[in-house]
Amino acid sequence: MTNTFALIGATIGLGSTAVSDSAVLISDDTIVGICTEDKIPSDFTPLQLNGGTLIAGFVDLQVNGGGGLLFNNDPTVETIKTITQAHARLGTCRTLVTLISADKSTTSKAIQAATQASRQNIPGFLGLHLEGPHLSIEKKGAHSERVLRKMNDEDLQELCDAKKALPYLMITVAPEMVSPEQIACLAEAEIIVSLGHSNASSDQSNQAFQAGAACTTHLFNAMSALNHREPGLPGATLFNDNIYAGIIADGVHVSPAALSLAVRSKKGPGKLFLVTDAMATAGTSEQQFQLDGRTISRSNGRLVLPDGTLAGADIDMLGAMRCLIEDVGVLPEVAARMASSYPSACIGAIENLGSVATGFFANVVHIDDDMQLQQVWLDGKSQL
């Protein structure tokens, strides 16, 4: 039986894009129309909302864990289900489940689990992000040094084969650890190559971009610094209008001032988007978890290793939006796009993800006037 209903009683969109006195028509997993409330078809059941705003469900391209589980610790379909469910309850309706640098066996298990999750159409599962292991030891951050290494032909083949079975595959690599020829092969296989955890110069970064890298992972963090004589990876990213970049807006990983500079200076419209870099604690009250035998603790909005190194972020997408709006001065409608349509565009999914519009998946978030989460519909199904 077809599930048809109309969301009414809330504004659709934020700021200059807002539309009032209108309904979002949903049939099963698709938005089939937007109309004035007096034009709702008789076969659509009205669902009355108490004010607030409807925005597109969030799309997060970097999610390491959630619901108490970390993908690295148990790379299975069940873990993927738990992670996507936890983030759906936080408003994220599509997730690239992310594996932090791991050994070959764990990486292969993660690819197999992601492939199975895709075949089973796990709700909210978008694909796989392999953050490493081809990363710079010098800029390893919380990644375990023992598994970091240069890419070889076997790695390259495994990645290209994996993409054939996955809707979306993103990999984070350092230009120092992969060759331009390898990047070109990966891009040719329709793998989204993102640069990160790298001490690359701007020239090295631009060479990787020219070879086919299309994105930068958590801008500013775990990478060469932006210097007035050597702009490094951040400078190359900001200056190149064809390159996307994810950024963590929690006021911890990147200061509000640096966030503001990034928003204002990034060339290319719609190229800077939000990621949470969420860990096992997302959607829970848990205060500790393990990564590669090391304890990561949660305290004062931070996730840290015993030596104080940041290890992922303690924020959700709506919190990141609030940080941009309240601390940086980003327009609400732009912040919403940075959490939905911009990451969708980065992976080439802009035709059906990231907007409340006819023909798009029925991924809708209802927030109140204080930008607090009220309800989430993932593919037309209520999550709260």
**Residue appearing with tokens 């990966």:** 186
Tokens representing 307 are 């030596």
Tokens representing 369 are 């006037």
Decide if 376 contacts 91 (C-beta within 8 A). Answer: yes
81 phi and psi, to 5 degrees?
-60, -45
Active site residue: 60, 250, 277, 292, which one?
277
Decide if 191 contacts 159 (C-beta within 8 A). Answer: yes
DSSP 266-312: --STT-EEE---B-TTTTS---EEEETTEEEEEETTEEE-TT--EEE
Active site residue 277: yes
Decide if 273 contacts 244 (C-beta within 8 A). Answer: yes
Residue 377: name the closest of 35, 122, 28 by CA: 28
What is the torsional sign of CA 99, 85, 250, 235? Answer: positive
Rounded Cα–Cα distance for residues 116 and 54 (Å): 32
**Residue appearing with tokens 């290793």:** 305
Pairing of strands 22-27, 4-8: antiparallel
Give the three-state DSSP class for 176. Answer: coil
Tokens representing 35 are 């109309």
Rounded Cα–Cα distance for residues 17 and 56 (Å): 12
Distance of CA 325 to the CA centre of its chain: 19
Question: Which secondary-structure segment (H or E) carries 99?
Answer: strand 92-100
Active site amino acids: 277
